[in-house]
Amino acid sequence: MSGAEIVLVHGSWHGSWCWALLSDELGALGRVTHAVDLPSMDGPGYGVEADTKVVREKVDSIGAPVVLLGHSYGGVVISQASAGDRLVYLAAFMLDEGQSPLSTVGQELPPGLDMLPPPADPIDMSYADVPADLARDAVSRLRSQSAQAARDRQIGAGWRDIPSTYVLCEQDRAVPPALQEQMSQRANEIWRLDAGHSPFLSMPRELAVLLDEIASAVDDA
């Protein structure tokens, strides 16, 4: 059996570009990675189901065991996809059926809002511990996301049937650690990083080593 490959699912406002450093580090460890671009970044009307379809198609195209990782909003997508051999939630929304990220944090969006712009201060929220040049580059790449993706409620919860790991970021300013603690209780195991919301930029080597260890359990299954 070949080693488990890792499919990387980005969060709101991001794209596959955000995984470049982590992919390089995982490649150095011998891990094959695949990063998808979610259609909810393409315009209004695309929600969780459209994003889920892309992820399922990617997983189905891989002829090896798959670790499916979702960051932030990407956690909703991997849960609904219910695909792969292990689910990894990286500072992610690990929701039950009927929940949405908005309902989980007690927020609502204006009814007429079609596209949700990036936060006003993304560096403080998502990149506080990221080197300044990388943080500025990341901010320049952020794009608005379909508001439907934020409003859609979870249909299906893949973590009920697929082994799961929660990677909790203890310095996160975007998804509060207390909320991560609560959601992570649904996972089979919990790992912790002394990191902000984007460890794929702030500590890609450390995150890669952790993910390689998680994937090794799939290799040995």
The pLDDT-based confidence of 103 (bands split at 50, 70, 90) is: confident
Phi, psi at 198, each rounded to 5°: -130, 65
pTM, full prediction: 0.96
What distance in Å separates the CA atoms of residue 187 and residue 18, rounded to the nearest whole number?
25
Phi, psi at 166, each rounded to 5°: -110, 125
Residue 192: name the closest of 174, 204, 207 by CA. 207
Give tens-digit pLDDT for 119-162: 999 999 999 999 999 999 999 999 999 999 999 999 989 999 99
Six token digits for residue 82: 């219910």
**Which string of DSSP letters, residue by residue, matches 112-168?**
T--EEPPPS-HHHHH-TTS-HHHHHHHHHH---EEHHHHHPPP---GGGTS-EEEEE
Give tens-digit pLDDT for 184-217: 999 999 999 999 999 999 999 999 999 999 999 9
